[in-house]
Amino acid sequence: MMLKHFKNQSKINLVLGVACLLTSCTKTINLDLNSSDPKIVIEGNVSDGAGPHLVRLTESVNFSDENNFPAVSGAFVVINDNLGNKDTLQEAGSGYYYTTTLQGVSGRTYTLRVNAKGKSFEAVSSMPTKINLDSITFLKSAFGNPNPGDEVYVPAPRFVDPLQEKNWYRFIVTLNDTIDKSIFVDNDNLINGLPYQRPIFSGELFPKKNDSVAIEMHCIDQVTYDYFYSLNASIGQGPSATTPANPVTNIKGEGALGYFSAHTTQRLKVQVK
C-alpha cells in the first residue's frame, strides 16, 4: 500500500524528471467542469481515547467555488453500540457534533445515524483489538529528496502483528509540528503474525537529524481501510494512476460521502538520531 504510493510517485517523478530535461512544463489551465448538487459529507470517528468523539457534517461545493465547505447544522446525529448504549450528539458549530457519554471500547460495534437536510444516513464500524506501537526506527533514505545533499530519514513504526486475526492499520505522521497530509494505511496480508517494520515513505516530508517525528497509529476495521485505501488511489493522479472514482464508503444513504471509523489510537513521538 505504502509501497504503491511510493512506486507511483517514483514513476511519475522519473517520467517528469526525464522529460524536464527535455523541456516539459506545467501550467494552470481553465477547465469548464460540470457542477453538481451539494452532497452531504460525513466524517465520523470513535476512538478508545478520551471523549468527546466527533462527527463532522459538511457539504460539497463546485470545483470553481472557494475551498469553503458549508457546515451542516441542525442535524440529528446518534451513535449506538452493540451493548445498547446510545448517545445523541450535541452540536458544537462549524459542522461538529460531539458525544457526551459514549465510550470507545475494542470489540464493540458502533452504528452512526444521521438525519440532515431531509436525508438519512447510516454507517457501521467495529473497533478492533488494540496493538501496541512499540517504537519508531529510522532508515536513511535517498528517495524523492527535494534537496540533494541533505541526509534524510524514513520512519518505520515497530510492533508485532497478531497471528490469530486480520488487522488493518492507519498511520498519521507528524514532522515537528507539520502533519503529513498523505494517507498511510496498511494491512497484514503479507506480514500476518510477524514483527512490523515497514518504512513509511512520504512524498511530502523529509525528516533530518534532530527533527522530532510522531506517529499516531490507529487499528482500524476493514471498511475504514477500504475507504482510505480507495481515497488514496483516487488522489493518485497522472499517467500511471487509476481512473479516479469516489472512495468506497461504509455510509449508506443517498449520495453519501465520507466515512465512519471506530478505531484504537496510540501516539509515539521521537527524535531522529
What three-state secondary structure class fits 95? Answer: coil
Report 42-71 residues binding another protein (CB under 8 A): 43, 58-63, 65-69
Give me the phi and psi of 6, to 5 degrees please.
Answer: -65, -40
Report 146-175 residues binding another protein (CB under 8 A): 148, 154, 156
Among 235, 268, 270, 272, binds another protein (CB under 8 A): 235
DSSP assignment letter at 149? T
Report 77-106 residues binding another protein (CB under 8 A): none
Total interface residues for another protein by CB under 8 A: 85
Establish if 220 lies at the interface with another protein (CB under 8 A). no
Report 184-213 residues binding another protein (CB under 8 A): 186-187, 189-195, 197-199
Nearer to another protein, 104 or 199 (CB): 199
Nearer to another protein, 81 or 219 (CB): 219
Q: Using CB under 8 A as the criterion, what x/- string covers residues 243-272 for binding another protein?
A: xxxxxx--------xxx-------------
Chain position carrying cell 493522479: 237
Among 241, 268, 270, 272, binds another protein (CB under 8 A): 241
Paired strand residues for 52: none
Transcribe 209-235 into DSSP letters. Answer: TT-EEEEEEEEE-HHHHHHHHHHHHHH
- Residues near 78 by beta carbon (within 8 Å), at least 6 away in sequence: 86, 87, 88, 89, 112, 113
Q: What angle do CA 126, 132, 137 make, to 5 degrees?
A: 130
| Minimum distance of another protein from residue 66's CB (angstroms) | 5
